[in-house]
Chain A
Amino acid sequence: GQQLNQSPQSMFIQEGEDVSMNCTSSSIFNTWLWYKQDPGEGPVLLIALYKAGELTSNGRLTAQFGITRKDSFLNISASIPSDVGIYFCAGLPGNMLTFGGGTRLMVKP
């Protein structure tokens, strides 16, 4: 089946630092999505990408759909304590979402 490799698995950073995480696939995806899961809640959609090369921002978050259609990255600028959570990439090779293993982000005030 489809495999999404998400890295890093966890990050512990200082408030104010920028964060970068990425996702790679062995297959071509038509859509890339980035979700955030707050503690005790379900994942919430942050950004959706639909075209190779597309760069999309949502506040301090920026995500890009890789040119090869096999990767995507998410950047968070000037991190704040409420950025804490698990970030998941997800891809649509067809009709069903495939999720990465998640990046657990911890922010030290």
Chain B
Amino acid sequence: GNSVTQMEGPVTLSEEAFLTINCTYTATGYPSLFWYVQYPGEGLQLLLKATKADDKGSNKGFEATYRKETTSFHLEKGSVQVSDSAVYFCALSAPTAGKSTFGDGTTLTVKP
């Protein structure tokens, strides 16, 4: 079946540091890939997505590129802020499945 593996956390960075959160997936066919963010006490918010190979999703300074050859969708940001502290989830959705499969999440803490 489909699965998503995220780098183990938590991740602690200083403000303005470079962020990478690794995500790899296993799926049949050509899934769409997503990054969601969850702030304390809230539901998930879609951060960015990519629906086909080599697509780059971007939003609020975050980027991720759909790499089919390595089955990866790593999240990057060039300069993190304290307000980026949250839990980040990588997810996939296969066109035939009608549901999303999530990784276990990576907790990011950014210190001033």
Question: Are the chains A and B members of one assembly?
Answer: no
B residues adjacent to A (C-beta < 8 A): none
